[in-house]
Amino acid sequence: MTKNIIKEINTLKKERNAVILAHYYTRPEVQDIADFVGDSLALAQQAAQTNADVILFAGVHFMAETAKILSPEKIVLIPDPEAGCSLADSCSAKEFKEFKRLHPNHLVISYVNTSADVKALTDICCTSSNALRIVENIPVEQPIIFAPDRNLGGYIKSITGRENMVLWDGACSVHEEFSIEKILELKKVHPAAKIVAHPECRAYILEIADFIGSTAAILEYCKDSLDDEFIVVTESGILHKLRLQSPLKSFIPAPPLDSTCGCNDCAYMKLVTLDKIRNSLLTLSPQVHVDSQIAKDAIRSIEAMLKS
């Protein structure tokens, strides 16, 4: 059955001249059929340079929206339009406009995990892979608004010591949910394991981490490390690639506070299934659309990131 769907997807992909871009948080079988799997930064870079006529985004809505802003002439498909993002939802454009008004003369750096409307109010976008470098490249006397993730923002503030950086009070519900008690219990059972954590986690989790990095940085660290056991404090989809690239190493998912299951899933990312991908390529729907004026304003901040 799965074999048939994969065959159909591959045929449709050729007929449509389509490319499938997938985030590392999607289901393993989705990552396996994608033309490119990456973190948020790599996916934005791919979306900007593909020659395909159709981009199918196996990820969440803000990622597909970014692809559409970068390639307005292309058809951009999102297999399940309900695949949103709690972090993007924590920052409405209306409230953000008011926040900007209260902080005049601030340069606005926003995570790509935002709506197109918020990107249109932003000077430079960033992802967890490049946020530190982007902030460090801004002259120290320039005040900054950093949005929407308070944990990533707080982490960068703690490294750079930038007091003139104000943070929007948003967060990712997946990364905020990890239980420090359960991680410390795991560490007792696996004392040699290194704790690797995404900077969207709370500060008290980052304090006990041996390594803090974006999805791509965690993958690289675990591949190159001489250690062979890791407690992974980020979304569980990353385990697929971690295990593929280092089959002899052991990766233990960190558990969330409020669950009997051992790992922490982003329910939005998991909405993308092979069935939905096949249907989306077949019907060329649902498509992502962005208002042309919003897209015109938003593209400046995305291109500023891609050029940086």
Residue pair 109/123 in contact by the 8 Å Cβ criterion: yes
Query: Residue 43 or 85: which CB sits closer to ligand SF4?
Result: 85
Closest separation in Å from C-beta 110 to ligand 13P: 13
The partner in contact with residue 268, picked from ligand SF4, ligand 13P, none with C-beta cut-offs of 5 to 8 angstroms by kind, is: ligand SF4
The partner in contact with residue 86, picked from ligand SF4, ligand 13P, none with C-beta cut-offs of 5 to 8 angstroms by kind, is: ligand SF4
Q: Interface with ligand SF4 includes 113 (CB under 6 A)?
A: yes
**Residue for token digits 């997807």?**
9
CA distance 116 to 93: 9
Query: Residue 61 or 106: which CB sits closer to ligand 13P?
Result: 61
CA distance 160 to 287: 40
Q: Which residues pair with 145 in a beta bridge?
A: 108, 166
Query: Residue 75 or 172: which CB sits closer to ligand SF4?
Result: 172
What is the number of residues in the chain? 308
SS3 of 163-232: CCEEECCECCCCHHHECHHHHHHHHHHCCCCEEEECCCCCHHHHHCCCEECCHHHHHHHHHHCCCCEEEE
Closest separation in Å from C-beta 45 to ligand 13P: 12
In angstroms, how far is CA 106 from the centroid of its own chain?
Answer: 25
String of contacts with ligand SF4 for each residue 219-258, x by CB under 6 A: ----------------x-----------------------
Applying CB under 6 A, the residues found at the interface with ligand 13P are 39-40, 113, 127-129, 172, 200, 214-215
Query: Residue 55 or 266: which CB sits closer to ligand 13P?
Result: 266
Interface residue with ligand SF4, options 77, 172, 206, 212 (CB under 6 A): 172
Q: Which residues make Cβ contacts (< 8 Å) with residue 125, sequence separation at least 6? A: 109, 110, 111, 112, 114, 119, 301, 302, 304, 305
Q: Please report, as ranges, the residues that interact with ligand SF4 according to CB under 6 A.
A: 25, 60, 85-87, 113, 172-174, 235, 266, 268-269
